Chain A
Amino acid sequence: QITLKESGPTLVKPTQTLTLTCMFSGFSLDTRGVGVGWVRQPPGKALEWLALIYWDDDKRYSSSLKSRLTITKDTSKNQVVLSMANMDPMDTATYYCVHRRLELDAFENWGQGTMVTVSS
């Protein structure tokens, strides 16, 4: 059974850097084709893909947020970390961790999400 769980601060101040951790189980991030990524959703709004890291450390970023995002992985700890710099109140959202596998180019498994509020 595949599970993903997000963790991190619930409140950050404007201009700060947000760091979120995704801990996963049920799969390995050194298996060919596997990727772990992040999707966010502002309250009452649509889903927005942010970043994804592949088993071979290839990294993909949303073009609109690329300058602010960094995604890394620690395969031995089954963790993926997303950092987002220069946070703004518009970044207030629920942040989801997602799993992708080679055979199915879709986000087949999702974490429960973690709500992050940006406010001074």
Chain B
Amino acid sequence: DIQMTQSPSSLSASVGDSVTITCRASQTIAVYLNWYQQKPGKAPKLLIYATSSLQSGVPSRFSGSGSGTDFTLTINSLQPEDFATYYCQQTYSAWTFGQGTKVEVK
């Protein structure tokens, strides 16, 4: 099974900051990597699919990059509604999620 490791597990940031979350796969997954945002008590929401494609309706301050085993999610100019937990997901072989990264208010 493919394991996904996110770092950091949590981070503190302020409105207006840029933040980067990293996701590493235990084996190559090409570009089969998605990112989700989850707020407390809510279902996850798809942000980015296939590494860098922005889901419809998602603000352009979100971006993704990477290939092979290393991927990043970047949020530029963090907004109040962006404080949440973010998960990566590989779809190369079945589906596996990372353990999540909580973005908290500094």
1/0 contact string of A77-95 vs chain B (CB within 8 Å): 0000000000000000000
Which residues from chain A contact B89 at a C-beta distance below 8 Å? Answer: 47, 49, 106-107
Chain A residues within an 8 Å CB radius of B50: 104-106
Docked pose: A108 CA to B43 CA in angstroms: 11
Complex interface: chain A residues within 8 A of B44 (CB): 47, 96, 107, 110
Q: Which segment, of B16-24, B70-78, B94-102, faces chain A?
A: B94-102
Q: Inside 8 A of A63's CB, which chain B residues have their CB?
A: 1, 94
Interface of A is mostly: strand
Total inter-chain residue pairs, C-beta < 8 Å: 56
Nearest neighbor of A4 in chain B, beta-carbon distance: B43
How far does the alpha carbon of A39 sit from the alpha carbon of B44 in the complex, in Å?
10
Which of chain B's residues has its CB closest to A103's CB? Answer: B49
Cross-chain contact A104 with B49 (CB below 8 angstroms): yes
The answer to whether B96 and A49 touch across the interface, beta carbons within 8 angstroms, is yes
Residue contacts A-B, CB under 8 angstroms, 22 given: A37-B95, A46-B87, A46-B99, A46-B100, A47-B100, A48-B97, A49-B96, A49-B97, A60-B94, A63-B94, A96-B43, A104-B50, A105-B32, A105-B49, A105-B91, A106-B49, A106-B50, A106-B91, A107-B34, A107-B46, A107-B89, A107-B95
Binding site for B on A (CB under 8 A): 37, 39, 46-49, 52, 60, 62-64, 96, 104-108, 110-113
When C-beta atoms are compared, the residue in chain B nearest to A47 turns out to be B97
Which are the 7 A-B pairs with shortest beta-carbon distances? A110-B43, A49-B95, A106-B49, A47-B97, A106-B34, A105-B91, A46-B99
How far is it, in angstroms, between the C-alpha of A105 and the C-alpha of B34 when the chains are bound?
9
CB A116 to nearest CB in B, in angstroms, measures 15
State whether the Cβ of B55 lies closer than 8 Å to any Cβ in chain A: yes
Given A46-B87, A47-B44, A47-B87: A108 and B96 within 8 A (CB)? no
